[in-house]
Amino acid sequence: MSSGNDCQPQTLTKPALGEKEVTELVDRVFGLKVFWIRPLPSYDDQNFHVRVSRNEGVAEGADEYVLKITNSEDSQKPDLIEAQTQAMMFLSAEGFPSATPYLTKDGNVMSLESGDTGNKKYMVRLLTYLPGTPVAKIATNTQIFYEIGKLAASLDKALSEKFHHPSVKSLHRGQFIWNLANVPLLDQYIYALGQTKYREVVEQVIEQFKGKVIPKLSSFRACINHGDLNDHNILVDSTPASLENPQYRVSGILDFSDMSYGYYVFEVAIAIMYMMIESPDPLSVGGHVLAGFESILPLTEVERGALFLLVSGRFAQSLVIAAHTALRYPENKEYLMITAKTGWKHLMKMFEVGQEAVEKTWFETAKAYTNHAPA
């Protein structure tokens, strides 16, 4: 869930191209004939699932792609989009299930194109379509939570240790609203919650974050974060070990638009928060995700001590920014409020149960894996 401007949740920049314009664009920029096209949901970019045929009108041999039309604010940051795209190509080469760009007629990974209205320009990319089912649409189990934790650590480790493209400097995004370090920036959007019990809890999260997390940032281990390993951005396929308990494998990692420099512990906190959304037993989820993460990269005591507030901070970011943006863009409210349906319930429950009890559950679950690690 990216934002248009680094310190604004969403500005009036979302593209609104029609299917006819998109069909013409794919032909003009990429030299491909569209066989069919379907819109995909998006926070503030415009995405289409596109099937193309090398021979016009012939379905056989068709290829599937995602056409990503970036909002006009982010389109003014070509270095940032270059870094995201190069990171995807790097990860694919490293064996991660990441999309790769189909090059333009000019041999580039992206192209700046005129938009639907006025003089706005949008960066356009055609990315390979990844098969699989979003985690949001499966009956989750502890095995997939462990795998996602493992993925979060492996992905950040690979990016931080081996990804050295010149554009990487653009990932220093100081005021980026979705970077977990910037939970205090939510102060300016909290009005969107009105005077409610929810607002009281979020204010508590922000104050505790300022006092207990911000002073510790310098002792966390820095890395490049994907930043949005949510239940819609991870695709899986399954091998039916049994109908009751299928074994899942990650088949796709989507949406690198929230990439930024951060810390390893941020990534595991973000993954825990989003996997809680998809579980009937949300407070237990953290231990399984943490165990997977620590099978690759054990956290330090200081990092572990911040985990509860980091997970709470991500809930606050997601819920406050969605409420703020839904006020401004009611037509996109249904998509914006996906997480809010259960998110508020989980955040309130975390604070009701309390940090000590929640951490005890997480850490004991993770510890059990050290004796019985999954195959």
**Cα gap 373→375, rounded to integer Å:** 7
**Cα gap 139→318, rounded to integer Å:** 23
Q: Of residues 228, 231, 255, 258, which has the active-site annotation? A: 228
Q: Which of 352, 3, 338 is nearest to 189 (CA)?
A: 3
Which residue in the block uniquely carries the two structure tokens 């299930």?
A: 97
Which residue in the block uniquely carries the two structure tokens 């825990």?
A: 272
Beta bridge partners of 98: 253
How, if at all, do strands 222-225 and 63-69 pair? unpaired
Overall residue count recorded for the chain in this entry: 375
**Cα gap 205→207, rounded to integer Å:** 6
User: How does DSSP assign 104-165, residue by residue?
Assistant: PTTS-S-EEEE-SSTT-EEEEEEEEPPPSEEGGGS---HHHHHHHHHHHHHHHHHHHHH---
Decide: 64 and 51 in contact? Cβ < 8 Å.
yes
Q: Establish whether 228 is a catalytic residue.
A: yes
Burial of 49 (C-beta count, 10 Å sphere; 0-12/13-18/19+):
middle
The secondary structure of residue 86, as a DSSP letter, is H
> Cα-atom radius of gyration of the chain, to the nearest Å?
21
- The residues annotated with a catalytic role in the active site are 228
